[in-house]
Structure formats: structure tokens, C-alpha cells
Amino acid sequence: MFQDPTSASAPTNHSAVLPEHDYEAGRHMLFGSLSYVQTVIKLLHKLNYAEPNDWSRPLPTGQPNEVMAILTNRVRVD
């Protein structure tokens, strides 16, 4: 990814020499009132983090006035 500054060789096409990247899945969980969960999902969408349709539907948690929404996403890890 970074070139050794002490290296005397010319720059190379790094995409050709980098190893294959693996993807890992992770989950984000939001807990709160329905209006809170919907507001945070919209905010994350405005920040280009996740599409609203990628979240689960709000699920009841058993606590008064509380729901949960889950986002599973995959990211490339080195």
C-alpha cells in the first residue's frame, strides 16, 4: 500500500502486487424508540453509510417503547 521511501526502485502498479482482499461481515444494532431508530437510519443514509432498505424492519425488544433494527454489512479487510 505504501512505498518504502528508502527504496530506489520505480513506482509499480500496486493493485497488481497487493494480495487478494477478504471481506468480513459485521452487524450494527440500533436500540431506541421507533422515531429514534428511524432518525438514525436516515442520518446514516445522508452520510452515505448505509441504505435504509439494508436495515431490518424495526423489531420489538420487549421493553416499553423500544425497538431494535439490525444492519449487516460487508467490508474489505487487509
User: Tens digit of pLDDT per residue, the chain (78 long)?
Assistant: 344 444 444 444 444 554 557 899 999 999 999 999 999 999 999 999 999 999 999 999 999 999 999 999 988 887
pLDDT of residue 74: 87
User: What is the per-residue pLDDT for 61?
Assistant: 97
Longest dimension (CA), the chain: 65
Backbone angles phi, psi at 47, to 5 degrees: -85, 5
What pLDDT sits at residue 17?
53
* Dist CA 51 CA 71 (whole Å): 10
Domain boundaries, the chain: 23-77
Residue 27 vs residues 39, 41, 55, 71: alpha-carbon distances, Å: 18, 14, 10, 5
| Cα 35 to Cα 53: distance, rounded to the nearest angstrom | 16
Instruction: Provide the pLDDT for residue 78.
Output: 79
